């Protein structure tokens, strides 16, 4: 990922041409390029690699699925995450494909939220080989039911859970979990920031990324102490959701 400005290639029929729209994206740290067909997208990526490719699934003039599969199979573009956008939920046959999109964003959404989701995805990709597994589980309630999910990794700012639950981004959850060496559980209010699809190619399980917001009591101090202690053994543990 480029440092500073985020380079996004949109494949869409809607041209972002006005100075106001371009200024809006620049304001949130994004430089945009646009293609209206497959050939243009390939040429533009050949000339200038992008950090992420965003394809409008509703654009009838292109085959978004075939385009995504092509980019993921080519060595020069395989590492670039692909995002699908649509005004309605994607069919499961699309999200479940081996070479399907890395993320789906249902539109319309505020520009700031859209860019935040893109950056979250890129950060997840970068730290994909830096996760530290932790034994233990998290419990929380959602829609009147109590769930318990295994912890993949944890930081001062968030936690990654292993679960098939389809909880949308923006959902608030009250979490409780224990850490090795501490009898008192950590209790914190969090927000779901991403849904992670299972990927058998990378041995990645399905999960939820949750960003911490408000800690109860001294939970934050105890978590930070645990993280600081763990850094001596594995400094890669610290990341931000």
Going from the C-alpha of 33 to that of each of 20, 51, 70, 93, 206, the distances in angstroms are: 15, 11, 19, 29, 31
240 pLDDT higher than 90: no
Residue 1 corresponds to which tokens in the numbers above? Answer: 């990922």
Residue 155 corresponds to which tokens in the numbers above? Answer: 């930081």
Helices (H), the chain: 19-27, 38-47, 64-73, 92-95, 111-126, 219-231
Residue 97 in any domain: the answer is: yes
**End position of a domain, from candidates 76, 109, 129:** 129
Domain span including residue 51: 6-129
- Provide the number of structural domains found in the chain: 2
> What's the pLDDT tens digit per position in 17-70?
555 566 677 777 788 889 999 999 999 998 888 999 999 999 999 999 999 999
Q: Is there a single domain that holds both residue 123 and residue 153?
A: no
> What's the pLDDT tens digit per position in 54-64?
999 999 999 99
108 pLDDT higher than 50: yes
> What's the pLDDT tens digit per position in 212-225?
889 999 999 988 88
> What's the pLDDT tens digit per position in 143-158?
999 999 998 888 888 8
**End position of a domain, from candidates 110, 129, 148:** 129
Residue 1 in any domain: the answer is: no
Q: What is the CATH number of the domain that holds 141?
A: 2.40.10.220
Q: Is there a single domain that holds both residue 166 and residue 77?
A: no
Q: Is there a single domain that holds both residue 47 and residue 110?
A: yes
180 pLDDT higher than 80: no
């Amino acid at each position: 990922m480029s440092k500073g400005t985020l380079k996004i290639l949109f494949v869409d029929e809607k041209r972002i041409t006005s100075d106001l729209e371009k200024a809006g994206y620049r304001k949130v740290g994004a430089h945009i390029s646009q293609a209206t067909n497959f050939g243009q997208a390939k040429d533009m990526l050949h000339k200038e690699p992008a950090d992420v490719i965003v394809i409008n699934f509703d654009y009838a003039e292109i085959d978004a699925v075939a385009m995504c599969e092509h980019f993921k199979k080519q060595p020069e573009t395989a590492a670039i995450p692909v995002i699908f956008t649509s005004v309605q939920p994607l069919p499961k046959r699309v999200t479940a494909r081996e070479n399907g999109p890395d993320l789906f964003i249902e539109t319309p959404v505020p520009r700031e939220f859209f860019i935040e989701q893109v950056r979250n995805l890129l950060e997840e990709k970068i730290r994909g080989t830096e996760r530290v597994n932790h034994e233990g589980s998290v419990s929380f309630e959602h829609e009147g039911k109590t769930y318990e999910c295994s912890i993949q990794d944890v930081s001062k700012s968030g936690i990654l859970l292993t679960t098939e639950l389809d909880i949308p981004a923006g959902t608030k959850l009250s979490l409780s979990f224990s850490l090795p060496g501490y009898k008192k559980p950590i209790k914190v209010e969090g927000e779901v920031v991403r849904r992670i699809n299972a990927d058998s190619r990378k041995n990645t399980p399905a999960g939820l990324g949750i960003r911490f917001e408000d800690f109860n009591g001294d939970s934050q101090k105890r978590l930070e102490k645990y993280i600081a202690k763990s850094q001596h053994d594995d400094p890669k543990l610290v990341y931000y959701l």
